Amino acid sequence: MPVHSEQLQYRTRGAGSVIDLTPRVSQVVRESGATSGIATVFVPGATAAVTAMEHEQGNVSDLRELLDRLIPPDGTYEHNRLNHDTNAHAHIRAALLGPSETFPIEAGRLLLGTWQQIVLVDFDDRPRERTVIVNVVS
Amino acid sequence: MPVHSEQLQYRTRGAGSVIDLTPRVSQVVRESGATSGIATVFVPGATAAVTAMEHEQGNVSDLRELLDRLIPPDGTYEHNRLNHDTNAHAHIRAALLGPSETFPIEAGRLLLGTWQQIVLVDFDDRPRERTVIVNVVS
Amino acid sequence: MPVHSEQLQYRTRGAGSVIDLTPRVSQVVRESGATSGIATVFVPGATAAVTAMEHEQGNVSDLRELLDRLIPPDGTYEHNRLNHDTNAHAHIRAALLGPSETFPIEAGRLLLGTWQQIVLVDFDDRPRERTVIVNVVS
């Protein structure tokens, strides 16, 4: 069985909230039985992203502040104007960070740094139900 | 056959143009015969990037405006000065977004969000012929 | 042997230094014996990132200048305040760029652009010993 796939469900508050995916991605890796390989973590949807960071209150706050400064929710955006929408900032933030990251598996475990977690960042301007897809190739 | 690979050709206008790769990447996935797995999409070249977004006129315009604001083409850059070049902004935009993303395949199809497309962003300051490489692992 | 994995060691000077990983990643690909497939390059740790760029003095300087401008080391950050730390800027830069990229392998070689290299960017504010993990799936 070269590829093992699972879909994880999360409820987010949107608005740049950062959710630690590591516990459940680690569980998928364990259940896959993979000893050595890779795990790709992907979020469907055009207003959320997957990356890695230390999931600590200060870092989460700093990332949100940075993105509010560089790509403000209340800026002037063509997407909002053309579609009578309000989440244009979420679209371009998500495009910048990207929807996927791929992580190594060794000895049956994710090889992450000590203070490094896999995270979902939901940029949409309202609470969302998100599916995160984990594919283990081994 | 664990890995199926195809090279796709595109002509771009450069200058931050955004090209929807989804139809042809989907075709590669179908032709690979993969039912479950991953598809990695990669662009060779140091002045283009692969990401995902809703390929809609407003979002495309907003992404270009954002990058023109944060990383202006007419800024002062060492790359341009040292190499008598004009596309330094394209180099650092591409490094920021990255050349690859990896997408899940389930039931023989790419698992994308409803309004999420796989895109090539060409930051170079002139039209380019680009090759995009798709690797399906299943 | 579907997955071949190697761990590479690097000493960096931190502070946004950019290290060309291509020679040693190419060597891992050769030693893997893979003819067609993908190579995922990942850095453990929350203050470094993997991307691709032309590893040229001007581009390296421009990338550092850009990030110093957008995410200054001496900005006001919650991570620094809460943890009596000094590298908050490194954390959010790393989250923005991401820890992994995946590259295609064809005819036993990495398919990179002529002026495209795989790089490690170390944002931490001190010299670090870094491990980079390469997984070849073929």
Domains of chain A, start order: 3-137 (2.60.120.460)
List of chains touching A (3+ CB pairs within 8 A): B, C
Q: Average model confidence (pLDDT) for chain C?
A: 97
Which residues 12-31 in chain A show a CB within 8 A of chain B?
A: none
Chain C CB within 8 Å of residue A35 CB = no
- Find the closest chain B residue to A3 by CA distance: B37
User: Would you state the structure tokens that stand for residue C49, as one six-digit string?
Assistant: 């990132």
Confidence of residue A1 (pLDDT cuts 50, 70, 90): very low
User: What is this model's ipTM?
Assistant: 0.96
| Short-list B132, B138, B135, CA closest to B21 | B132
Mean of the pLDDT values across residues C106-130? 97
Question: Is the dihedral angle over the CA atoms C82, C84, C88, C90 positive or is it negative?
Answer: negative
Contacts of C43 (CB under 8 A, 6+ apart): C49, C50, C99, C100, C120, C130, C131, C132, C133
For residue A2, pLDDT beyond 80: no
Q: Which of C41, C91, C105, C130 to probe by mutation at the A interface, max A CB count within 10 Å?
A: C91
Nearest Cα of chain C lies from the Cα of A59 at a distance, in angstroms, of: 5
Distance between CA A5 and CA A26 in Å, rounded?
13
Q: Are C59 and B79 in contact (CB under 8 A)?
A: yes
pLDDT < 50 stretches in chain B: 1
Chain B CB within 8 Å of residue A60 CB = no
What number of other Cβ atoms are within 10 A of residue C131's Cβ? 14
Nearest Cα of chain B lies from the Cα of A2 at a distance, in angstroms, of: 7
| Short-list A25, A135, B9, A131, CA closest to C40 | A135
Q: Do A88 and B62 touch (CB under 8 A)?
A: yes
Confidence of residue C2 (pLDDT cuts 50, 70, 90): confident
| pLDDT number for residue B70 | 98
| pLDDT number for residue B72 | 98
pTM of the shown model: 0.97
Chain C CB within 8 Å of residue B138 CB = no
